Amino acid sequence: MSFLTMVYAYLYYFAALVLLAGLTFKVTQYARTPAPLKIPTTPAPTTRSGVVFRMTREVVLFESLFRGNKWTWIFGWIFHFGLFLVTLRHLRYFMEPVWLPIELVQPFGIYGGMAMVVGLAGLWARRFFVDRVRYISSPSDHLILALLIAIGSTGLLMKFVFHTDVVAVKSFFIGLYRFDPQPLPGDPLLLLHLFLVAALMIIFPYSKLLHAPGLFFSPSRNQVDNPRERRHIAPWAKRLEQE
């Protein structure tokens, strides 16, 4: 195993460990955080099945964002849908044989990469040109958007301009989860792309990107609007009452 392959193998093992451990810690923390008040954003569903339907609309259609700001919704939805297609396209690097649905999505994944970069560019532009958004934007907001755009741009460049040996790349990643890393191509753009992806994996559990799993733990979204029918008591409050 070459030095370059060894460095990137250990980098991805470390990034995967940080990602899994960080997500596990944060999701556990979210799950244990008490919600002492009944605070669903109205109009809210009055049944558990209604909550599931509402959460589905939030995850798939970004319903609340659509009501709040149409331009942000457009660029945000374009980015997330593009990212979804790109993720499906990249699954081919981690499976052998490749499933038929993943084969069918390959052409659409290319357009997903373009949509991803366009959506990110729009979201980044609003942080410069919308006064109230520029005022609350922190350096980390700009750095995360720049990182995501760099990942998308380097991926598109490898597809259309600077081609790389995708068969060797697939062998490398399949070798990783078999604990038998295979030689990684030394193309500079590929190495940059993979480094940026690893960096994203490392910072993900500690950044604002955690809104992805955090959405499911939001009391304003996941609570049933039934304060008159049923008393809402947080677990820690129940223990106090019993004492």
Q: What is the dihedral of CA 180, 184, 190, 192, to 10 degrees?
A: 70
Q: Which domain holds residue 63?
A: 3-242
Q: Which DSSP letter does residue 3 get?
A: H
Whole-number Cα distances in Å, 213 to 79, 91, 101, 126, 132 = 17, 21, 25, 24, 26
pLDDT tens digit sequence for 222-233 = 999 988 787 777
Structure tokens at 1: 């195993």
Number of domains forming the structure of the chain? 1
pLDDT tens digit sequence for 117-138 = 999 999 999 999 999 999 999 9
Nearest residue to 86 via CA among 154, 164, 175, 12: 154
For a pLDDT cut of 90, what percent of the chain falls above it?
Answer: 75
Report the CATH number at residue 137. 1.20.950.20
pTM over 0.75: yes
The whole-angstrom separation of Cα 121 and Cα 75 is 8
Which amino acid would we find at residue 22?
G
Nearest residue to 62 via CA among 53, 51, 73, 78: 73
Query: One digit per residue, pLDDT tens: the chain, 243 residues?
Result: 688 999 999 999 999 999 999 999 999 999 888 887 888 988 899 999 999 999 999 999 999 999 989 999 999 999 999 999 999 999 999 988 899 999 999 999 999 999 999 999 999 999 999 999 999 999 999 999 999 999 999 999 999 999 999 999 999 999 998 888 899 999 999 999 999 999 999 999 999 999 989 999 998 999 999 887 877 776 666 666 666
